[in-house]
């Protein structure tokens, strides 16, 4: 129920359309009941013409005197029971609305009233549906935004443990299914129970004894509904897991389609996707087998009761042992069978509710996931960097017991270029990730100007830092918006200046629409060197005092590398720069080169100093790269 209450909380901003929808539901239900009630005057008009002229209530004087009354009149109300008196008054009100001296005029009036009832019923049905759509789509929008916002704020470790496709399924199919629970509760559980009450009230008024017999269906139906609903709750979670697997495989395959084609793995990926789709298919069938059982089971039980009522009521009328007139009995049957429909719909709504709540738990699991990297209660913003960046006795591990960095002591003075080199897996990128607080150290600290960065707000720290990585990420926006990423208001002249500094202006001008050209998904319409130069232009546009370059020139051809390296040198001017590189040729001019091996600093110094150590790791790596 906690998940249910949280789903409902998302409807608070939409109280007005929601209340309007519920009000329209009430009127829709009342007019639906009135349509059924109109059957009695219809039957009387068509098949009991002799009594049309006497469709008037007994005069009060007749009732009070207890005088004689003719066969065409109703029995005096003073001698009737409470329910019978209500029935007579309701029929009198209906007759007063419809009956005219001429039977043809009565029929015309009946048709007009019936048309009016149908128009009003469907008008309220439309208004109810539209207003509920406002609330439902608002719920979906707000829940998706909250889910996306929470995902964007979670630490990088969360995304390393969860497949992208699974997270996409949470935002798409799971949120859509959550909406079912809100719709089921706030519409179906208002509309259909109210319909049951309206039809039940009409049935009681017409004949109490037959109504009590018809109520035998209710406990049977609710027992079926409850049992099936519990099973649906369990199986929906499993089904959504399979949908997450399908989305994950789709995302991975499309994202790596070049590799798939290069290795001729289309058939393999198709088999992998088919296996996931097959698992979803089997679970969906199991869910459908159970879910579709509710309505037929309830309908069979309802039909059995309805047949029993038809038999008992028919015998009573044929034997003359009941006060029910034929038109009342036919109306009663229609009322009872009309009541069975909303009972079945309640079963369906309960199933939707259980499915929606199962999806809600999956969505709220992510929303409730606490971010590992958060601002301290006393965190303050940092506005400038004026001294040093220091790693103090820093240690880190992704998994407890598996050390990635150990005892790191390193300082970067303002305006200094420090290069991190070493074999793959030495911890270079992990160490750089500590500076913008993508991760926090297990021991030790990262300091800016002598203050542990955990005492600063995360957003203010990251505003001081620019990052250019090997895996350049561009968004499917224009070139200008990619360079000015994060800026709502920017001058195109500033964008062009940054592009010139990054050696990107010339190729951008040659694009079909210049700076307004869309770069495609992840910049697929550009070459690797072009993407990298746009990433450098983006960093220049941000103008950060601290810069992290993580393999920014790897995997480029010679010409592109030369252009990118020139852009990087321009970018690094008067900035404190932490460079991660496998190509040692790119870091020879660094003020300090730090050699990492197995998570520890093994050497420090300039290129010339490190090359004098014949047994050192740096010289060995350099020799391997430049041997002829």
Confidence of residue 358 (pLDDT cuts 50, 70, 90): confident
Beta carbons of 295 and 351 less than 8 angstroms apart: no
Q: What average pLDDT does the segment 168-190 reach?
A: 76
* Whole-number pLDDT of residue 295: 61
Give φ, ψ of 382 to 5 degrees.
-110, 130
φ/ψ of 468, rounded to 5, equals -125, 120
618 band by pLDDT with thresholds 50, 70 and 90 = confident
Q: Kindly provide the residue ranges of all beta strands, DSSP E only, lying in 478-612, ordered along the sequence.
A: 546-550, 576-580, 592-597, 600-605
- Has residue 12 got a pLDDT over 60? yes
Instruction: With a cut of 70, say whether residue 233 has pLDDT above it.
Output: no
Residues 205-224: tens digit of each pLDDT: 887 777 777 676 667 666 66
Across residues 82-111, what is the average pLDDT? 76
In terms of DSSP bridges, do strands 576-580 and 592-597 run parallel, antiparallel, or are they unpaired? unpaired
CA within 13 Å, CB half, 54: 13
Whether the pLDDT of residue 405 is over 50: the answer is: yes
For 571-588, the pLDDT digits (tens) are 777 788 898 887 776 788
Phi first, then psi, for residue 406 (nearest 5°) are: -145, 125
Q: For residue 104, give Cα distances in angstroms to 43, 46, 53, 91.
A: 14, 10, 12, 20
Is the predicted pLDDT of residue 512 greater than 80, yes or no?
yes
Mean pLDDT taken over the chain: 79
Q: What average pLDDT does range 399-406 have in this prediction?
A: 88
Res 339 pLDDT > 80 = no
Using the predicted structure, report yes or no on whether residue 307 has a pLDDT greater than 80. Answer: no
Q: What is the pLDDT of residue 319?
A: 66
Give the model's pLDDT for residue 61.
Answer: 37
Q: Is it the case that residue 370 has pLDDT exceeding 60?
A: yes
- pLDDT of 184 higher than 70: no
Q: Are strands 546-550 and 465-469 parallel, antiparallel or unpaired?
A: parallel
Indicate if the pLDDT at residue 255 is higher than 80. Answer: no
Q: pLDDT tier at 80 (50, 70, 90 boundaries)?
A: low
Structure confidence at residue 437 (pLDDT): 92
The answer to whether 156 and 467 are in contact (CB under 8 A) is: no
pLDDT digits 0-9 by tens, 107-124 = 788 888 888 988 999 999
Residue 54 has pLDDT above 50, yes or no: no
Banded pLDDT at 349 (limits 50, 70, 90): confident
pLDDT exceeds 50 at position 70? no
Apex CA 603: angle with CA 601 and CA 604, to 5°? 100
The mean per-residue pLDDT over the stretch 354-363 comes to: 81
pLDDT digits (tens, 9 = 90+) for 20-34: 988 998 899 888 888
pLDDT confidence of residue 399: 83
Spatial contact of 511 and 517, defined as CB atoms under 8 Å apart: yes
**pLDDT surpassing 90 at residue 90:** no
What distances in angstroms separate CA 387 from CA 30, 450, 576, one per listed residue?
Answer: 76, 8, 10
For 388-626, give the CATH class. Answer: alpha beta
Q: Is the per-residue pLDDT at 406 higher than 90?
A: yes
pLDDT score recorded for residue 291: 65
Q: Provide the pLDDT confidence category of residue 59 given band limits of 50, 70 and 90.
A: very low
Least confident among 73-77, 426-430, 507-511, 560-564: 73-77
Note the pLDDT of residue 88: 73
pLDDT recorded at residue 294: 61
2-55+99-367 has CATH 2.60.120.560 classification: no
Whole-angstrom CA distances from 80 to 66, 83, 324 are 12, 8, 14
Q: Flag whether pLDDT at 19 surpasses 50.
A: yes
Q: Where are the domains of the chain?
A: 2-55+99-367, 388-626
Q: What is the pLDDT of residue 123?
A: 94
What's the Cα-to-Cα distance from 50 to each of 46, 47, 54, 73, rounded to whole Å? 10, 9, 8, 11
Nearest Cα residue to 8 out of 368, 362, 360: 360
For residue 97, the model assigns a pLDDT of: 76
Share of the chain above pLDDT 70, in %: 79
Cβ-Cβ contacts under 8 Å for 186 (sequence gap 6 or more): 8, 11, 18, 21, 22, 132, 135
453-490 tens-digit pLDDT: 999 999 899 889 888 877 777 888 899 998 988 777 88
Q: CA geometry: angle at 350 spanning 347 and 356, to 5°? A: 145
Q: Is 55's pLDDT higher than 60?
A: no
40 contacts: CB under 8 Å, gap ≥ 6: 91, 94, 327, 328, 331
Banded pLDDT at 51 (limits 50, 70, 90): very low
- pLDDT digit string (tens) for 159-172? 878 877 778 888 88
Q: Which residue has better confidence, 463 or 190? A: 463
Q: How confident is the model at residue 289 (pLDDT cuts 50, 70, 90)?
A: confident
Of residues 336 and 402, more confidence is placed in 402
């Amino acid at each position: 129920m906690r998940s249910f209450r949280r789903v409902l909380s998302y409807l608070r901003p939409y109280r007005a359309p929601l209340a309007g929808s519920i009000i329209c539901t009430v009127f829709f239900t009342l007019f639906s009941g009135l349509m059924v009630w109109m059957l009695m005057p219809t039957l009387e008009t068509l098949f009991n013409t002799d009594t049309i002229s006497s469709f008037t209530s007994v005069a009060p004087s007749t009732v009070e005197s207890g005088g004689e009354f003719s066969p065409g009149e109703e029995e005096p109300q003073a001698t009737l029971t409470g329910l019978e008196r209500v029935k007579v008054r309701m029929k009198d009100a209906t007759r007063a609305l419809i009956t005219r001296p001429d039977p043809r005029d009565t029929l015309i009036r009946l048709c007009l009233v019936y048309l009016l009832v149908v128009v009003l019923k469907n008008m309220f049905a439309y208004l109810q549906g539209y207003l509920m759509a406002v609330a439902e789509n608002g719920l979906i929008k707000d829940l998706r935004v909250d889910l996306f916002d929470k995902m964007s704020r979670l630490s990088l470790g969360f995304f390393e443990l969860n497949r992208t496709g699974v997270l996409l399924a949470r935002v798409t199919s799971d949120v859509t299914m959550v909406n079912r629970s809100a719709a089921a509760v706030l519409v179906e559980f208002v509309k259909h129970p109210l319909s049951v009450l309206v039809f039940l009230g009409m049935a009681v008024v017409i004949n109490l004894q037959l109504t009590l017999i018809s109520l035998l269906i209710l406990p049977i139906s609710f027992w079926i509904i409850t049992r099936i609903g519990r099973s649906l709750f369990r199986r929906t979670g499993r089904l959504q897991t399979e949908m997450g697997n399908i989305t994950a495989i789709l995302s991975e395959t499309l994202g790596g389609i070049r590799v798939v084609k290069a290795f001729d793995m289309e058939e393999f990926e198709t088999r992998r996707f088919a296996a996931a789709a097959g698992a979803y298919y089997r679970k969906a069938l199991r869910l459908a087998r159970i879910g579709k059982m509710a309505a037929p089971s309830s309908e069979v039980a309802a039909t059995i009761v309805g047949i029993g009522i038809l038999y008992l009521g028919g015998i009573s009328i044929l034997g003359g042992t009941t006060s029910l007139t034929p038109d009342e009995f036919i109306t009663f049957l229609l009322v009872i069978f009309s009541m069975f429909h909303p009972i079945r719909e309640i079963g369906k709504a309960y199933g939707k509710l259980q499915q929606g709540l199962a999806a809600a738990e999956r969505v709220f699991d992510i929303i409730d996931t606490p971010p590992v990297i958060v601002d301290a209660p006393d965190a303050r913003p940092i506005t400038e960097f004026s001294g040093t960046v220091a790693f103090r006795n820093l240690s880190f591990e992704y998994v407890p017991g598996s050390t990635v960095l150990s005892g790191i002591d390193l300082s970067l003075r303002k305006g200094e270029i420090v290069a991190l080199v070493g074999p793959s897996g030495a911890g270079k990128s992990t160490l750089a990730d500590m500076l913008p607080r993508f991760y926090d150290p297990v021991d030790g600290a990262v300091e800016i100007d002598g203050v542990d960065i955990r005492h600063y707000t995360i957003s203010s720290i990251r505003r001081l830092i620019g990052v250019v990585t090997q895996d350049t990420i561009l968004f499917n926006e224009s070139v200008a918006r990619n360079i000015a990423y994060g800026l709502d208001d920017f001058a195109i002249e500033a964008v062009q200046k940054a592009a010139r500094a990054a050696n990107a202006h010339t190729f951008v001008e040659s694009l079909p629409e210049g700076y307004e050209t869309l770069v495609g998904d992840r910049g697929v319409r550009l070459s690797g060197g072009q993407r990298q130069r746009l990433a450098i232009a983006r960093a220049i546009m941000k103008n950060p005092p601290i810069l992290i370059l993580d393999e920014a020139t790897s995997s480029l051809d010679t010409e592109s590398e030369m252009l990118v390296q020139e852009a990087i040198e321009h970018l690094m001017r008067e900035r404190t720069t932490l460079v991660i590189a496998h190509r040692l040729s790119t870091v020879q001019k660094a003020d300090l080169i730090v050699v990492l091996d197995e998570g520890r600093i093994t050497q420090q110094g300039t290129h010339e100093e490190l090359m004098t150590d014949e047994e050192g790791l740096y010289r060995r790596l350099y020799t391997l790269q430049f041997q002829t």
